[in-house]
């Protein structure tokens, strides 16, 4: 079985038992003897015994399996507090108080891991190492090559560019040739415009929601808006520093904060200039901020579901010439 699918089975198991037992406890039918058979051990048996076993069966690394089991069991106890009727809670009352200690311990471990990753990246950037490699290496050291690691790498990259962008240069990234994209159709200026709009909107929207709707709701919306503001600031700083590069026998497409897309040069069928709108599609990857992409790359063999890649660059002609020379292709031109 595919490892990425296998790693999701514990969470899917938790969702399935939460829904099925939730229906059982909340129903008033012959299934639960019309409310007289809502025994808490029915759900707790799956949550405290079967769920950890599923975690260890689906996760190879024992440390990651333990962490996942603890997190999911704590989440299961939280679910149980809602779906099991109050009059049927015995053991659960003790577990509910204990789960806060577990969550606090997990939070402490996560903070320690984040700080360790932070200092590892700071040292690597200080030595002028490739920032992407520094971040991925530091994150994978603690989380392995998992979906969570990819998410955390993105978050770490966002905070790195939000606070340490001045210490990162395009030349810090690996590659014999780098290509920029931040000047195309005013991409960087547009991002700056979004930043100013969000910054101006935050206090006005907070006051409006505070008095018209709910103070608590206003605080939540404001926090989410501030998070989006941090993202745009980091994106604004990243677009002029994370280049598209030719690295060895590969084309590495870095675009803003998003994960790099790597194309082996021998997998490029052809490359040509482009000037038309490109609609979203499963077999297409688009890297462009404004206007239309100006470079089209067709792949010989699909990478995942991707068959074509469209990029918006500052100097598409220079980029195409460099890729053609490196991949020994025959240049293609639009009619």
Contact 141, 119 (CB under 8 A): no
Alpha-carbon distances, residue 328 vs 72, 212, 235, 266, 335 (angstroms): 52, 64, 34, 9, 22
pLDDT in the model for residue 96: 64
Alpha-carbon distances, residue 71 vs 14, 103, 105, 113, 243 (angstroms): 11, 8, 11, 16, 38
Q: For residue 326, is pLDDT > 80?
A: yes
Question: Tell me, what DSSP letter sits at residue 273?
Answer: E
Q: Tell me if the pTM is above 0.95.
A: no
Q: For residue 334, is pLDDT > 70?
A: no
Highest averaged pLDDT of the listed ranges 108-117, 206-215, 253-262: 253-262
Q: Which residues of 100-130 are buried (b: 16+ CB within 10 A; e: fewer)?
A: eeebeeeeeeeeebbeebbebbeebbeeebb
User: Mean pLDDT throughout 196-210?
Assistant: 91
Q: For residue 31, is pLDDT > 80?
A: no
User: Mean pLDDT throughout 175-192?
Assistant: 93
More confident residue, 177 or 72: 177
pLDDT in the model for residue 125: 63
More confident residue, 8 or 121: 8
Of all residues in the chain, what percent carry a pLDDT higher than 70?
86
Distance between CA 263 and CA 283 in Å, rounded? 15
Structure tokens at 234: 């980091």
Q: For residue 267, is pLDDT > 90?
A: yes
CA 300 to chain CA centroid, Å, is: 28
Q: For residue 335, is pLDDT > 50?
A: no
């Amino acid at each position: 079985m595919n490892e990425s699918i296998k790693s999701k089975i514990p969470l899917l198991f938790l969702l399935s038992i939460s829904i099925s037992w939730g229906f059982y406890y909340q129903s008033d039918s012959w299934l639960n003897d019309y409310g007289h058979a809502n025994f808490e051990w029915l759900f707790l048996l799956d949550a405290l015994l079967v769920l950890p076993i599923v975690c260890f069966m689906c996760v190879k690394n024992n440390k990651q399996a333990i962490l996942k089991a603890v997190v999911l069991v704590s989440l299961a106890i939280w679910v149980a507090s809602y779906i099991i009727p109050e009059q049927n809670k015995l053991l659960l009352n003790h577990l509910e108080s204990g789960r806060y200690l577990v969550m606090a311990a997990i939070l402490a471990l996560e903070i320690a891991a984040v700080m360790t990753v932070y200092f590892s990246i700071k040292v690597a950037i200080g030595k002028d190492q490739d920032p992407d490699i520094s971040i991925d290496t530091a994150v994978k050291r603690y989380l392995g090559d998992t979906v969570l690691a990819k998410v955390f790498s993105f978050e770490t990259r966002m905070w790195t560019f939000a606070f340490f962008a001045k210490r990162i240069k395009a030349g810090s990234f690996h590659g014999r040739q780098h290509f920029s994209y931040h000047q195309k159709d005013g991409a960087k200026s547009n991002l700056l415009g979004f930043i100013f709009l969000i910054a101006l909107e935050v206090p006005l929207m907070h006051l409006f929601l505070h008095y018209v709707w709910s103070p608590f709701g206003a605080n939540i919306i404001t926090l989410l808006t501030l998070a989006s503001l941090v993202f745009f600031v980091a994106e604004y700083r990243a677009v002029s520093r994370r280049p598209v590069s030719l690295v060895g026998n590969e084309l590495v497409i870095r675009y803003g904060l998003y994960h790099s897309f790597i194309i082996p040069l021998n997998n490029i069928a052809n490359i040509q200039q482009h000037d038309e709108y490109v609609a979203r599609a499963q077999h297409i990857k688009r890297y462009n901020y404004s206007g239309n992409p100006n470079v089209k790359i067709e792949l010989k063999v699909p990478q995942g579901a991707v068959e074509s890649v469209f990029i918006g660059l500052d100097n598409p002609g220079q980029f195409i010439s460099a890729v053609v020379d490196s991949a020994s292709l025959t240049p293609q031109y639009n009619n």
